[in-house]
Chain A
């Protein structure tokens, strides 16, 4: 098993551009999580899905952020339009809601 796969690993874009981050999860887990990590705020939960259905998006900072999980093998996190303060490392993870979580390697986003 290759583990959770995220792409791209690095993304540099200009303010105002649309950014799409992708996640291919490990099979066999009901929950998929999107996190954002910065030095200032640590690891923040943005949204999570249960069996492909969004359950809690209260961590999504604002309407510029959206996430989808069209099937059990794929999820996306989109930012439109992007802003410099969105610069962070974004992680996708799978696992349990109050149980072990398996993280991908992250996407480092830089918005200029």
Chain B
């Protein structure tokens, strides 16, 4: 059983569409990170959210941390083929950080 559940597991959309992926847990985290992993590479940090209810924007990507700091969402506006990759969330608490299994996004031109 994953500490962090990510959904959907797979998502295939057309260029220009909007999408939201989710990261859920029953645990409270001190912070939550989102990483993107492209084929043949390691994960790369996109953003860290720390405060419950926090919203951060990175160009067309909007990240939200749940009020109770148990969940998070990533919304992509007008997706592009360059957004294709595996999106991983990682929850940190005390001296531990664990990754979800990821959402594999494919954006077709």
| Chain A interface residues (CB < 8 Å from chain B) | 4, 41-43, 45, 91, 93, 97-106
B101 touches A42 (CB 8 A): yes
In the bound assembly, the distance between CA atoms of A102 and B90 in angstroms comes to 13
Please, which residues of chain B bring their CB within 8 A of the CB of A4?
42
Q: Is the CB of A45 within 8 A of B94?
A: no
The distance from the CB of A31 to the nearest CB of chain B, in whole angstroms, is: 10
Chain B hits for A42, CB < 8 A: 2, 99-102
The 3 closest A-B pairs by CB, nearest first: A103-B42, A42-B101, A98-B92
Once bound together, how far apart are the Cα atoms of A103 and B90, in whole Å? 14
CB <8 Å contact, B96 and A97: yes
Question: Using Cβ atoms and an 8 Å threshold, which residues of chain A touch B2?
Answer: 42
For residue B21, which residues in chain A have a CB less than 8 angstroms away from its CB? Answer: none
Are A98 and B93 in contact (CB-based, < 8 A)?
Answer: yes
User: How far, in angstroms, from A105 to B42 measured CA to CA in the complex?
Assistant: 5
B79 within 8 A of partner (CB)? no
B41 partner, pick from A99, A100, A105, beta carbons under 8 A: A105
